Amino acid sequence: MSTKDYLEKDYYKVLGVSKTASQDEIKQSYRKLARENHPDANTGDAQAEERFKEISEAYNVLSDEKRRKEYDDARSLFGGSYRPGGNTGAGGFDLGDLFGQGGGTQTSGGGERLSDLFGGLFGGRGRTTTQPRRGADIETETRLTFSEASAGLTRSFQLSSDAACPTCKGTGARAGTAPRVCPNCSGTGHENRNLGGFSLSEPCGECKGRGLVVDDPCLTCSGSGRGKSTRTIQARIPAGVSDGQRIRLKGKGAPGEHGGPAGDLYVVVHVQPHPVFGKSGDNLTITVPVTFPEAALGADVRVPTLNGLPVTVKIPPGTPNGRTFRVRGKGTARRDGTAGDMLVTVEVAVPDRLNEEAREALEKFRAATADQDPRSGLETRAKGM
C-alpha cells in the first residue's frame, strides 16, 4: 500500500461505513458488497470487477486494527486530502523521511530525524511498489446440508484473481523483448513530488511504480504484466462446522506480487437446518415424543440417529416431560477424532382426540389419583416470594 493510496482513497466510503464503525459492521458491509460485485456473479462486467477490487482493498486495511490505525493517522495528519502542486519552501522537509522512505536528514542542532519522530507510523509501507507484496485475502461462501456439515467433506471452489500474464510471464513485454529500467526513477518505482512546503514520495508516473518501462508491450496484457487467473481448488471442510463459521485456508488467496506470499482464502459456511436434529456444540439434539403411559410406566423407545441405525433409549417409570437422556458417541465429530453425544429430550404427547374406551380409562385414572395434587402448596410458595 503506497502513501498516496492512504491519502487519496476513502476506504470508509468504499465500504459505506462510518469512521467509528465496529469490526462487525465493517465485516457485514464487506460481505454484502463483495457478494453483489463478485466477478463470478457479474461475468464480463469490468466495472463490477474493479469495484470488487476496491472493496477487497478497503477491507484488507480496515479489518486489520494495526493497518486501520496507520490509515486513520495518515489521513488525520494531512487532513484526509492529497493535492499535488507547488514547490518545497526554504523551511520545508521531505515527507520521504516521515514515511521512512529516504535516508532522512538531521535537523539542526543534532535533533532527531522525522523518520525517528514518526517511526513505524506507516509500518514502512509505500517505499516502493517493486518490493514483495502479499496477495489479497479472498472470501467466498458455501452451503452445506446438516449431514454434510456434521460429517465434513471436500468441496471444489472456482476462484478468480489477478496473476502474472501467462503470455509474457509478468514482464509486460512482447515475446523476444525485455523491459528496460525506468530512466525517470532509476528503477526504484517511486519519485518525489513537491506539495508546497512538503515533498511526497509516490509511484513513478513514467513506469507506474514498476521500475521498468516496456517499449514493445505484450498484446495479451497491453504491457501491464497482469492477467486474470481462474483456478479451481479443493478445500476440506472439517466435520462439525456450524452455520456462519469462517474457515481460513492459508495461502489459498490471491497470488503475491514481486515474489510476495499468496493471501489467504476464507470460506464462510452456511448450514441448512435439519427437520429433526439440532446442534449444541459437538452434540446433536433431538426431541422425541412419548405417550403418557410410556412416561409414567417406562418404556424402550427407538430413536433415529443422523448417519446410522436407530438406537434404543430406556425411559424409566415416572419420567417427567422435558427430561433429557444422553446417548454417547452419536454426535458430530470432534477435532481429536472422537464424536460428541446425542441429547434426547422426551416430550409427552397429549392426544387431541380420544375414543370412548380411552376416555373411560382416563376417567378411572383421574378418580384413582384424586388425592394427588401436583399443584399442592403452589399458592403458598407464590405468596412467600
Nearest to 74 by CA among 120, 17, 21, 112: 120
Q: Is 248 annotated as a binding residue?
A: no
Distance from C-alpha of 3 to C-alpha of 203, rounded to nearest angstrom? 9
Going by the DSSP 8-state scheme, the letter that residue 107 receives in this structure is: P
Those residues whose C-beta lies under 8 Å from the C-beta of residue 123, and which sit 6 or more positions away, are: 66, 67, 70
Q: How many residues does the chain have?
A: 385
Nearest-5° angle of CA 320, CA 325, CA 330?
Answer: 155
DSSP for 18-64 reads -TT--HHHHHHHHHHHHHHH-GGGSTT-HHHHHHHHHHHHHHHHHTS
Q: Is 182 annotated as a binding residue?
A: yes
Q: Is 194 annotated as a binding residue?
A: no
Centre a 10 Å sphere on the Cβ of residue 150 and count the other Cβ atoms it contains: 24
Please give the single-letter amino acid code of residue 302: R
Q: Is 218 annotated as a binding residue?
A: yes
Torsion of CA 89, 92, 94, 100, to 10 degrees: -170
Q: Is 253 annotated as a binding residue?
A: no
Q: Is 343 annotated as a binding residue?
A: no
Interstrand relation of 93-94 and 198-203 (parallel, antiparallel or unpaired): parallel
Q: Is 221 annotated as a binding residue?
A: yes
Binding residue positions: 165, 168, 182, 185, 204, 207, 218, 221
Binding residue positions for Zn(2+): 165, 168, 182, 185, 204, 207, 218, 221
